[in-house]
Amino acid sequence: MTATELRLRTPRHRVSRKALLWWTLRAVLQCAGLIIVQVALLLFADLDLMRWTLPITAGLAVLYVAVMPQWRYRVHSWEFTELAVYTLTGWLSQEWRVAPASRIQTVDTNRGPLQQLLGLATVTVTTASAAGPLEIAGLDHDDAVRLVDELTETTQATRGDAT
């Protein structure tokens, strides 16, 4: 074991502030979906159980929308060097992921409708492992494009067969 105790630090860069709005909107839509289904069941199927679950769902939804985006924003961060890409994601559960540049196979961006509206993008970095894609969600679109360019350049500089 190493002499001094070490821990992983937070990656240097945060995601775009607009990601806050994106996560909030997404949470609102998801919660609205759940609530609408329950209201429909109550009104049209006379499911009395919904009288109980509706207020609970609504309370949890308010909490989720209020807490999750802020928390996520404080956690989500990323960083890359010539040697590796390093990310931290999550809120209740948090996960660091690291992939060496020499093992990167593809670098993609994708933008859902909400992200397009807000000018955001998600960058996905895949390696030869079926289980190891790194996602940097909620980047400013221009930053994402720049990041992809730089990553592609770095990975091309260190070309192995990536397995």
Partner 1 sequence: MSGPTGLSGLPKAPDHVEPAPEWGRLDARMLVVRPLHEIVGFVPVLVALLVFGTGDAWRVLLSLAVIVLLVLRGLFSWLTTRYRISESQVELHSGLLSRKRKAVPRDRIRTADLTAKFGHRLFGLSAIRIGTGQHAKGKADGLLLDAVPVPEAERLRVVLLQRGVGHREAAVETAPAEARSTAIATLHRSWLRFAPLSLSGLLSIGAVIGVLVNAANEVDVRISRMAAVKEVVRWARESSLVLVVAVAIAVVLVLAVLGSLLKYVLQYAGYRLTRQADGTVRVTRGLLTTRSVSIEEKRLRGVQVGEPMLLRAGHGAKVSAVTTGLGKEQGGSLLLPPAPRAEAHRVVAEVLRLPEPPTSAELTRHPRRALARRLVRAVGAAVLVEAALLLTVAAWDWPLVLPLAWLVALPAAAWLGVDRYRRLGHALTERYLVSRTGSLDTKTVALQRDGIIGWRIRRTWFQRRTGLMTVTATTAAGRGAYSVPDIGEADGVALALDAVPGLLRPFAEPVSPESRPTPS
115 contributes a contact to partner 1 by CB under 8 A = no
Q: How far is the CB of 36 from partner 1 (least distance, A)?
A: 29
Closer to partner 1 at the Cβ: 94 or 116?
Answer: 94
Amino acid at the residue 30: Q
Binding mask 68-87 for partner 1 (x = CB under 8 A): ------xx---x-x-xx-x-
64 contributes a contact to partner 1 by CB under 8 A = no
CB 26 within 8 A of CB 115: no
Distance between CA 42 and CA 35 in Å, rounded? Answer: 10
Q: How far is the CB of 40 from partner 1 (least distance, A)?
A: 26
31 contributes a contact to partner 1 by CB under 8 A = no
Helices (H), 45-140: 49-75, 113-118
CB 163 within 8 A of CB 149: no
93 contributes a contact to partner 1 by CB under 8 A = yes
Among 7, 46, 48, 52, binds partner 1 (CB under 8 A): 7
Amino acid at the residue 145: V
CB 90 within 8 A of CB 75: yes
- The set of residues, in sequence order, having a beta carbon less than 8 Å from that of 90 and lying 6+ positions away, is 72, 75, 76
Amino acid at the residue 52: W
Among 19, 99, 107, 123, binds partner 1 (CB under 8 A): 99
- Please report, as ranges, the residues that interact with partner 1 according to CB under 8 A: 1-2, 4-11, 74-75, 79, 81, 83-84, 86, 92-100, 103, 105, 127-132, 134, 159, 161-163
